[in-house]
Amino acid sequence: MAALKPGARLRSVTCTTEVVIVRAGGEDLRCGGEPMADIATAGDPVASPKAGFDAGTEIGKRYTDESSGIEVLCTKAGAGSLSLGDTLLVVKGAKPLPASD
């Protein structure tokens, strides 16, 4: 897969997960343990998520990896877990609101 660019839309080949790249970083974005495909050229899922990469994704959540800086937004949930190579991405937490007195 070519370098990821912000705004790129990708689809999983193992489940129904779809994402949009928010911040690029790394080149090996996977879902369910398999490389993701461009949404325009990806067909229906042809495999199932591998063990260890089957915890699922949630719509509307941002997934990130601190070391590479990649950040993706899940636009369609699925059964596969997002990873950069073999490193699972984690859900990005919300920023706390400032206290008001």
CA distances to 61, 88, 101 from 98, in Å: 22, 30, 10
Separation between Cα atoms, residue 2 and residue 90, nearest integer Å: 23
For the segment 21-65, what is each residue's pLDDT rounded down to a tens digit? 999 888 899 999 999 999 888 778 888 899 999 999 999 999 999
Q: Are 29 and 1 in contact (CB under 8 A)?
A: yes
Separation between Cα atoms, residue 83 and residue 63, nearest integer Å: 9
For the cut 60, the answer to whether the pLDDT of residue 2 exceeds it is no
pTM of the model: 0.86
Q: pLDDT at position 10, please?
A: 94
Provide DSSP, 59-92.
TT-EEE-TTT--EEEEEE-BSSPEEETTEE-EEP
